[in-house]
Structure 1
Amino acid sequence: MRIALLSYSTKPRGGVVHTLALAEALAALGEDVTVWTLGRGGDQSFFRPVDPAVGLRVVPFPDGPDGESVGKRILRSIGTLREAFSPRAAEYDIVHAQDCVSANAAGRCVRTVHHLDHFTTPELAACHERAIVEPYAHICVSAAVAAELGAGWGIEAEVIPNGVAYERFAAAADDTAGRDRWHDRLGRYVLTVGGIEPRKGSIDLLEAYGLLRPRHPHRRLVIAGGETLFDYRDYRTRWDERAAGLGIEPVVLGAVPDDDLPSLVAAADAFAFPSVKEGFGLAAMEALAANVPLVARDLPVLREVFGPAARFAETPAAFATELDHALSAEDPARRSAGRRLAARHTWTAAASRHLDFYGSLR
């Protein structure tokens, strides 16, 4: 089967991590897989090496004019990817888009809906709507998102959970040297992985850390994360102002090299996941694989995915309390549950289920 997987970026965002891991697992099962994406900022390859069994098509996407709006950048992204891909689309048995931009560019396609957004910018709202209603088949990575899709649009989606690179993160849990390197650089810390943006609950995390810090004054707040297409400068300004008002100096690492990520996660004393909207929570599952206690936002989707392996909180005050428990009280049963849960989520199983679904469409 010839399969095209389409994404919007080469950077380490969750949907891109998913796309590459799925592509490699499909190729390992003997399928002919090509990943198409946009190369922003001069990128000619992805943030990490990709198995050579996977074909790569990185479409150059030059920077736009100064002052280009988010809406115009989205439309230009769609147009650029469509222009490159459309002449080749007929070569594939399955065209599978992984996000709003690539679904708009792909034409007739399968779509993975990782999570649902609500936009007010007209171009974004239209892009989001088309990327839901126009694909002929849909996959969701959790039942909670599939239920949202059914309730809002009457669309029935196949539920195929993410895999996780369990071995990489589990091995990092036993890498004392790697952990020591991060502790020498950062001290002891609470970690989150994700951009500083509204969807990630970044300001709530600041508030929670401000409440936590008197109880754990020597633990820092560390934030790692990649790029997003959207312009969150105003939100980042508010985040910076709130951090200053609380007297907090979080460590913002930005995108961490892929080889360094497992040891960064494994060296954390706790992993905070305060997102207000998620489809699965891959970064949090990686933390469980690395044997790190997880505190997550109390959302139906995260209850579904993590169950007894995580602590849950809704408000900043509750987040601070649960982080305090995670830092203060060893919970071997919860940690063991987390590692067992992560180990069950393999990319081989996810790829096999994708192939079964593709086969049902032909």
Structure 2
Amino acid sequence: MRIALLTYSTRPRGGVVHTFALAEALVELGAEVTVWTLGRGELFRPVGVPVRVVEFPEIPGETVGARILRSIAALREAFTPDAYDVVHAQDCISANAVDRCVRTIHHLDQFTTPELAACHERAIVRPYAHVCVSAAVAAEVRAGWGLAPVVIPNGVDAARFAAATPAREHGEYLLSVGGIEPRKGSLDLLEAYALIRARIPQLRLVIAGGETLFDYRDYRAAWETRAAALNVTPEVLGPVPHDELPGLVAGAAAFAFPSTKEGFGLAAMEALAAGVPVVVRDLPVLREVFGAAVGYGSDPSALAEALFQAIKEPDAARRGRGERLAAAHTWDAAARRHLEFYAALR
């Protein structure tokens, strides 16, 4: 079986990390897999599968809508669908770039940019089969479009995070991974951090990640204005090198995951693997995935209280649940489920 996995970037983001890890696990099981991706800078880590990188230079001043359309056109022009038995798109851009594909819907979004809204809709209705990484997202797809996705949870490279040497250069810190953007709940995180710092003055807020296609400059400006008003100075690292991320995660006093919309929560699961207490926003999908292994908060005050308790009164039983949960989500299991899914399509 010749399989093509398609993604939109060479930089780390949840869906991109998922694509390359799944590809490697499929190859370990004997599948013939090629990853196709748009080249947005250097590939974030070495990978053990063939990768076809489609050149995609930056154009200064390009609008989001124009970038989306150019992304779709570039991947469509380069991709060779007849070379594969299964074409599996991992995002709306790659699903729009091919005429026939399987699609993993990691989460659902609501866009106001016309090109993005159309891209999102086509990437749901046009594929002939669908995968979701959680039952909650599958239920949204079923309710909104009458489709019946197969649920295959993410894998996690738990051993990589469990073995990490904790970073020490940031002092005592609260960590969030995912950058500064509306979906990541960044403004709520600021508010929560300000409340915690009043009780733990030495605690720092470190934010890593942030690779995205979208233009969040206005949101970032509002975030910076609010940080100044709250008299807090978070440390914003941007994308962190692949080899440095586990240590950064393992060294955190707690991991904050206040996203307003998620499909699974891979970064939070990696933190559990590292033995770090995690607090997430109280969403049905995160209740499904994490259960009693994490703390929950529905607003900045509740998030702050849960994070304070996680830092000052660590729960050993919860930590054990988290480590076992992360270890149970293997990429090998995810790959086997995908191969069964592909075989059923033929």
Instruction: Give the alignment's TM-score, normalised by structure 2.
Output: 0.99
Q: Corresponding residue for 1:109?
A: 101
> Are 2:277 and 2:314, in contact at CA under 8 Å, matched by a contact in 1?
no
The answer to which structure has the higher helix fraction is 1
- Within the candidate set 236, 240, 256, 2:240 is matched to 256
- Structure 1 residue identity aligned to 2:162: A
The alpha carbon displacement at 1:255 in A equals 0.6
Rounded to whole Å, the distance in 2 between the matches of 1:309 and 1:280 is 14
Q: Corresponding residue for 1:227?
A: 211
What does 1:61-76 align with in structure 2 at a 5 Å threshold? 61-64=56-59, 66-76=60-70
> Are 1:7 and 1:99, in contact at CA under 8 Å, matched by a contact in 2?
yes
**Please, what is the CA RMSD of the aligned residues?**
0.7
Indicate the SS of the match to 1:147.
helix
The alpha carbon displacement at 1:107 in A equals 1.8
The alpha carbon displacement at 1:226 in A equals 3.3
Rounded to whole Å, the distance in 2 between the matches of 1:98 and 1:226 is 19
- Does residue 271 (structure 1) correspond to residue 255 (structure 2)? The answer is yes
Q: Corresponding residue for 1:165?
A: 157
> Are 1:113 and 1:140, in contact at CA under 8 Å, matched by a contact in 2?
yes
> Are 1:290 and 1:339, in contact at CA under 8 Å, matched by a contact in 2?
yes
Indicate the SS of the match to 1:259.
coil
What does 1:286-301 align with in structure 2 at a 5 Å threshold? 286-301=270-285
> Are 2:5 and 2:89, in contact at CA under 8 Å, matched by a contact in 1?
yes
Rounded to whole Å, the distance in 2 between the matches of 1:106 and 1:125 is 18
The alpha carbon displacement at 1:67 in A equals 2.5
- Within the candidate set 45, 50, 57, 1:48 is matched to 45
Q: Corresponding residue for 1:9?
A: 9
The alpha carbon displacement at 1:186 in A equals 1.1
The alpha carbon displacement at 1:62 in A equals 1.4
Structure 2, unpaired ranges of 5+: none
> Are 1:11 and 1:226, in contact at CA under 8 Å, matched by a contact in 2?
no
- Structure 2 residue identity aligned to 1:143: A
> Are 2:258 and 2:280, in contact at CA under 8 Å, matched by a contact in 1?
yes
Indicate the SS of the match to 2:243.
helix
The alpha carbon displacement at 1:227 in A equals 1.0
- Does residue 33 (structure 1) correspond to residue 33 (structure 2)? The answer is yes
Q: Corresponding residue for 2:141?
A: 149
Question: How far does the alpha carbon of each residue in 1:81-107 deviate from its partner, in whole angstroms, 9 at most, with x for none?
Answer: 00000xx10110100000010100022
Question: How far does the alpha carbon of each residue in 1:242-291 deviate from its partner, in whole angstroms, 9 at most, with x for none?
Answer: 00110010000101100011010000010000000000000000000000
Q: Percent identity?
A: 70
Q: Corresponding residue for 1:57?
A: 52
Q: Corresponding residue for 2:18?
A: 18
Indicate the SS of the match to 2:163.
helix
Rounded to whole Å, the distance in 1 between the matches of 2:225 and 2:28 is 48
- Within the candidate set 67, 75, 80, 1:81 is matched to 75
- Structure 1 residue identity aligned to 2:118: A
- Structure 2 residue identity aligned to 1:9: S
Rounded to whole Å, the distance in 2 between the matches of 1:11 and 1:68 is 19
> Are 1:294 and 1:311, in contact at CA under 8 Å, matched by a contact in 2?
yes
- Does residue 119 (structure 1) correspond to residue 111 (structure 2)? The answer is yes
- Does residue 237 (structure 1) correspond to residue 232 (structure 2)? The answer is no
- Does residue 98 (structure 1) correspond to residue 90 (structure 2)? The answer is yes
> Are 1:221 and 1:251, in contact at CA under 8 Å, matched by a contact in 2?
yes
Count of aligned pairs: 346
Rounded to whole Å, the distance in 1 between the matches of 2:14 and 2:202 is 30
Q: Single out whichever of 283-292 and 54-63 deviates more from structure 2.
A: 54-63
> Are 2:72 and 2:97, in contact at CA under 8 Å, matched by a contact in 1?
yes
- Structure 2 residue identity aligned to 1:46: L
Rounded to whole Å, the distance in 2 between the matches of 1:107 and 1:254 is 35
The alpha carbon displacement at 1:335 in A equals 0.3
Rounded to whole Å, the distance in 1 between the matches of 2:335 and 2:210 is 25
Indicate the SS of the match to 1:106.
coil
Instruction: Give the alignment's TM-score, normalised by structure 1.
Output: 0.95
- Structure 1 residue identity aligned to 2:206: V
